[in-house]
A and B are shown apart, each in its own frame.
Chain A
């Protein structure tokens, strides 16, 4: 049994109702675990890209990919190499900002992390932040002393670097 790693699987699927169910159900049924999944329309109308993070050994991941390929609504499956791809996550973080000092400290930290303030209320700030998951974790940890009220994270999404694309041939 080889070692377990986190893997990024990028798939192009038909953009229609039930596809997310079909894909996630396959993982459940075969005993694979989804760490993280993000879905959105892809470059072509009618197609969606699903980015799925899975932890497992090489043999398990190979099975995941083969089983995904068998699904009729899944058009293309590729495994992204973390060194040759860009992985990002978006987070919205709502933090208590009860006084001027807290407010300016938070904004300073936000500047360092290139987070943008997207909503302000008398006693809270909401920031938008993109980056690697580690960066987002670090930012949320920094905000904890101020009191993190709410966090929404999209989960990771990824693309391979360079001009290469998951080409859809007819």
Chain B
């Protein structure tokens, strides 16, 4: 037991959780915490907007596999992180938000919770539906346990965002602090080990399959189960399709890789998955953008569904073999049992068919007509970047082109807002990823519309010396909305034209970063290479054909079988 203030207890607790960095913006209700933070080894990275801090912390979490921490003051500071929490909630990221709050008690009673005090917001009420867990500490003495509980819940089982709200008087209050208390959370006992009977059923089903296929989601990345996935796929020669969130969990240059399924999945994955007779779905929640209309999703397949969250099983798709467990031990166990029963498969008729289809579909992929088409640029970017480079994306056409044309080879190298679709996520997330992996090049594949939503974080990137590269696929429009208006609303553009402002190169320069506008693939390559060498934050503005569409596409409310190409 040690006597100290709540703020000191918080920082000591964070140090015990091995927190190295906090992304945040200070404010009145955080002053006692910041005072202690000055003397700590924890680095505070000053963002320019709390939303940026939250996304950066999520980028850090997803690149590192550890909790990412952001901090904001009471009221507007706290409400500005709401989008970040909602994003982390849908993408199951361990994002921890620390917020300041007005006093629980005060000599000046009007500066108290419940009195609508200055910069008071009910952040607990606001964030309850978008956090895995949240709590408000009522006394300084509660802080060590609250921090321990919150980190445990956010990072265990299916990860998710959590928030702790610190009234200012709990930060200044002194108490005997107990950091050694054992956690006992009766309502939280995630199941990680698979049930042996269910594993047996899965093995039996896989052995009976003629056309087995894997659908791998973001859960594979979270569980660090990529090696197990690869081994199992190779043993049974099962083609692997990924969901958008699963991208990077399986090397996309592998012969068994089918790419993503979904609204903008590859033609190959969308068509072949429908032919499977056994589908092994791992760490995915069968979201609508992945499955298309469920009536025609995998009509002939028996489905094995592995997910650590019991509530995901049977939520959207009825399954034949549910397994509530962590993907890593489950895939490993399934493989161990299969190895005794079957030899490594080679050229099955199914895999022959898949390979033929792959050759055909790959040769038919639409790379666009203009010289500076996004597909060509992204393929060139892949050629230049090393395997360990981390790519983040914004949301919209840039994101879907990246999913289709920027191949990934290693888990945690593709970080994007899948569930919430948050424009403005990619750039701050890139900053967070760079902090987590300082030796890896980090590139944000952006659209001009999305980049504008968090471009102020150029200030963070430059002043905190966190060099990242931003590639803006610039069509001066909200491209994905424009694409839908072209396809489904008679080509009438409404609310999508952003104009040719600002000059992104000059904007970058104004912040002290490098900024360049390029006019050819060659100039693009040179600009990327230069940025990689100089390690200076660089914005590469690429004017693309403004009316290019992303192909292929599953029209809204249609099934994967209805995937169309623009040709």
Contact = CB atoms under 8 A, between A and B. Distances in A.
Interface in B456-473: none
Interface stretch (A69-77, A99-107, A118-126, A143-151): A69-77
Interface string B304-315: 000001110011
B187 A71 contact: yes
B128 A69 contact: no
A62 B314 contact: yes
Interface in A41-86: 59, 62-63, 66-67, 69-75
A66 B310 contact: yes
Interface in A151-170: 168, 170
Interface stretch (A14-22, A87-95, A108-116, A134-142): A14-22
B184 A22 contact: no
Contacts of A66: 310-311, 315
A36 interface: no
Contact of A170 (B153, B184, B309): B184
A168 B186 contact: yes
Contacts of A74: 187
Interface string A22-40: 1001100100000000000
Contacts of A72: 132-133, 153, 185, 187-188
Contacts of B185: 72
A69 B311 contact: yes
Contacts of A67: 311
Contacts of A170: 184, 186
Nearest to A65: B311
B186 A75 contact: yes
A63 B187 contact: no
Given A18-B124, A25-B129, A70 B311 contact: yes
Contact of B129 (A29, A70, A168): A29
A75 B187 CA distance: 4
A69 B129 contact: no
Interface in B75-97: none
Contacts of B186: 14, 75, 168, 170
B71 to A, nearest CB: 22
Contacts of B310: 66, 69
B125 interface: yes
B314 A59 contact: yes
Nearest to B160: A70
- Interface residues of chain A: helix, strand, loop or mixed (majority): helix
B184 A21 contact: no
B442 to A, nearest CB: 33
Nearest to B184: A170
A18 B153 CA distance: 18
Contacts of A73: 187
A101 to B, nearest CB: 53
Given A62-B314, A69-B311, A70-B311, A21 B187 contact: no
A72 to B, nearest CB: 5
A73 B132 CA distance: 11
B287 to A, nearest CB: 15
A88 to B, nearest CB: 27
Nearest to A14: B187
B309 A70 contact: yes
Interface in B109-138: 124-125, 128-129, 132-133
A110 to B, nearest CB: 43
Interface string B153-167: 100000000000000
A66 B314 CA distance: 10
Contacts of B133: 72
B188 A63 contact: no
Interface string B300-324: 0000000001110011000000000
A66 B129 CA distance: 16
B305 to A, nearest CB: 13
B184 to A, nearest CB: 7
Interface string B174-192: 0000000000111110000
Nearest to B318: A59
Interface string B22-56: 00000000000000000000000000000000000
A21 B126 CA distance: 11
A163 B103 CA distance: 47
A21 B315 contact: no
Contacts of A59: 314
Given A21-B128, A59-B314, 7 more contacts: A26-B129, A63-B315, A66-B315, A67-B311, A69-B310, A70-B311, A168-B186
7 contacts: A18-B128, A29-B129, A69-B311, A71-B187, A72-B133, A73-B187, A168-B186
